[in-house]
Structure 1
Amino acid sequence: MKEPNYNGAETHPLFPSGDWEGFYTYAMGPQADKHPMQFMLNFKANVVDGSGADDVGGFVWKGRYNTGQLECTMTKYYSTHQVHYQGQVDENGIWGLWEMDWLKGGFHIWPKASAENKEAAAIEAKEAVMVEKVPVLVPKERKF
């Protein structure tokens, strides 16, 4: 059960407000060139907004999200044009398709890991390696 949030900010763990990063592509598949983007998103009461920049220029996000359907629809507004994004949400971020007039492509965005989260992940990885190196001794079967 979610704890009440009195400032209205989203509490669902897959919709964290803060710094995000990711990429968009003009083609589909693993061979497609990835165009990086850095931005801030704010999730509150099923409305998402934010701002950032990519290789096209600065932009503003405006859109909606649904924690029940795990979907997010946003429009990226540049000074000269806009691009519509439709995505599915999972533990790896938001991924889906973008569309602008006759152009289409894919995208994947995710919350930027904080320094604290990166440190915790590094410690966890180190501990996992240490556990792998501990030999396990199995006693030989005794015969009476």
Structure 2
Amino acid sequence: MKSDAPAPETPNESDPRFPSGPWTGFFLQKEVPGKHWMELHLTFREGTLAGEGRDRVGLFLVKGRYSVDDGKCHWTKKYVGRHDVFYQGFNEGRGIWGTWEIPPLWKGGFHIWPEGMADPTGQHLSAAADAPASAPPPAPTEAPDEEPIPLGAGAGEEGRGDLDWRQGRGSSARDPDKGS
């Protein structure tokens, strides 16, 4: 006799480095200094990661793979109705860190971690973190954290954003009140 009960769902990943649920973090982009924060909800199951999230560019979907053997991860972040961003990184127990790329010209660094974990990067990471290995390292510079903005605000064409999105900071326009 055949059972009408649905097959049991495969459980989420048991490795503590890959907890399913809310994650947070940021990406770095040399052209737009600062930590660009993102919120994600990720599911890790049998080597596959999937989820969704949002950041200053907009809403996105995440789909990719991870390995509990070596901690390597790679995924595609697909902005709804926009472009894709390719991520690859490592999980060594302090979240996932690595690089992102929009071929052929745009690339940078990122770090995400499970919600509830303290920011594992502290304040020592700068927007210069994505400099190529062949170039001499730039002098360390602290990049200010970006301020939260309403979802959908400030994103320019092609999701590159508007340099004036932080109410004028970062703009090359002169401020008449400051005389410069």
4+ runs of 1 displaced by more than 3 Å? none
Higher share in helix: 1
* SS of alignment partner, residue 11 of structure 1: coil
1:44 partnered with 2:83: no
Q: How far, CA to CA, are the matches of 1:63 and 1:7 in structure 2? A: 17
* SS of alignment partner, residue 95 of structure 1: strand
1:34 partnered with 2:55: no
The residue that corresponds to 1:90 in the other structure is 92
Give the C-alpha shift of residue 80 in structure 1: 0.9
Give the C-alpha shift of residue 20 in structure 1: 0.2
Q: How far, CA to CA, are the matches of 2:45 and 2:59 in structure 1? A: 23
* SS of alignment partner, residue 10 of structure 1: coil
Residue type at the aligned position of 1:33: G
- TM-score for the superposition, normalised by structure 2: 0.56
Higher share in strand: 1
Q: 7, 26, 35: which is aligned to 2:10?
A: 7
1:80 partnered with 2:82: yes
Give the C-alpha shift of residue 59 in structure 1: 0.1
The residue that corresponds to 2:162 in the other structure is none
* SS of alignment partner, residue 99 of structure 1: strand
The residue that corresponds to 1:17 in the other structure is 20
Give the C-alpha shift of residue 7 in structure 1: 3.0
The residue that corresponds to 2:70 in the other structure is 69
In structure 2, list runs of 5 or more residues that go unmatched.
1-8, 119-180
Q: Which has the larger radius of gyration?
A: 1
Identity level (%): 44
* SS of alignment partner, residue 113 of structure 1: coil
* SS of alignment partner, residue 12 of structure 1: coil
What is the root-mean-square deviation of aligned Cα atoms in Å? 1.9
Residue type at the aligned position of 1:85: Y
Count residues with an aligned counterpart: 107
Q: How far, CA to CA, are the matches of 1:66 and 1:96 in structure 2? A: 15
Output one character per residue of 1:88-144: Cα deviation in whole Å (capped at 9) or x when no partner.
101210000000021000000000018xx9xxxxxxxxxxxxxxxxxxxxxxxxxxx
The residue that corresponds to 2:150 in the other structure is none
1:105 partnered with 2:105: no
